[in-house]
Amino acid sequence: MLVVEGLVKRFGGFTAVSNVSFKVDQGEILGLIGPNGSGKSTIFNMLSGTFPPSAGSIKFEGSEIAGLAPHRIINRGIGRTFQIPRPFRRLTIFENVELAGFYGQGSHSRAKADEAAEKALAMVGLPTDRRAPVDGLGAAGLKKLELAKALATSPKLLLADESLGGLDEAEMDQAADMLRKIRDELGITIIWVEHIMGVLMRVVDRVMVLDHGEKISEGLPSAVSSDPKVIEVYLGT
């Protein structure tokens, strides 16, 4: 589904992502882990069109998407969440998701956007009541809203950035189960970024590890978590 080759991102003289290649198969959950600052969000920013790569190729369903504008990438079927949720606080929960749906459906049909919003809210377990306000959502609620916004764009591939940040242990388990449910019930392929291994390892099919912008390990969770290079990086932080 996704083939990334030789991806590089430089910010001035600093290389944030250095020659990273990987593939994602349709229907899988790929975990992408690495310490803070290792380049995970930068990879998502290139996959979703926030900024173009300095070098490299990103092929999605056979066509090159590197450097396309964000709305074009969303319309091809790649949705994302942001590590730090920044909903429009003056809009209701429903309106935030409806807006994402409106943008993501690539159509100007309000009915379609509303339908997508309702489905997405039900999927993550947020109220579909149109007047429910954003204020009052805690960390877990805001993460669910972030997911609902991404789902409302009807992605084939979902990029989930640090879905566990700020959650307690029970909420982390719930969030992990929700990502699995999104894959199992909606058939959406997922790349899931976290800086800690934790519960991610029990949900993902495969995992890839970044350190200082470079891929240092990749494989089944069991193999990666016992890889000496990975252990060194995680003990060193």
- Asked whether position 149 contacts ligand ADP by CB under 6 A, the answer is no
- Of 2, 4, 7, 16, the residue at the interface with ligand ADP (CB under 6 A) is 16
Residue 53 touches which of Mg ion, ligand ADP, none (CB < 5 to 8 A by kind)? none
Question: What is the distance between the alpha carbons of residues 198 and 188, in angstroms, rounded to a whole number?
Answer: 22
DSSP character for 220?
Answer: -
**Amino acid occupying residue 71:** H
- Asked whether position 88 contacts ligand ADP by CB under 6 A, the answer is no
- Asked whether position 189 contacts ligand ADP by CB under 6 A, the answer is no
- Asked whether position 42 contacts Mg ion by CB under 5 A, the answer is no
Tell me how far, at minimum, the Cβ of 13 lies from ligand ADP, in Å.
Answer: 11
Q: Are 147 and 81 in contact (CB under 8 A)?
A: yes
Q: Which C-beta is closer to ligand ADP: that of 36 or that of 222?
A: 36
Helices (H), the chain: 40-47, 70-76, 93-104, 110-124, 139-152, 169-186, 200-203, 221-225, 228-235
Q: Which residue is nearest to Mg ion (CB)?
A: 41
- Pairing status of strand 29-33 against strand 206-211: parallel
Residue with tokens 């000496």: 228
Q: Which of 81, 34, 101, 106 is nearest to 182 (CA)?
A: 81
Q: Which of residues 29-58 bind ligand ADP (CB under 6 A)?
A: 34, 36-42
- Asked whether position 215 contacts ligand ADP by CB under 6 A, the answer is no
Interface residues with Mg ion (CB under 5 A)?
40-41, 83
Interface residues with ligand ADP (CB under 6 A)?
11, 16, 34, 36-42
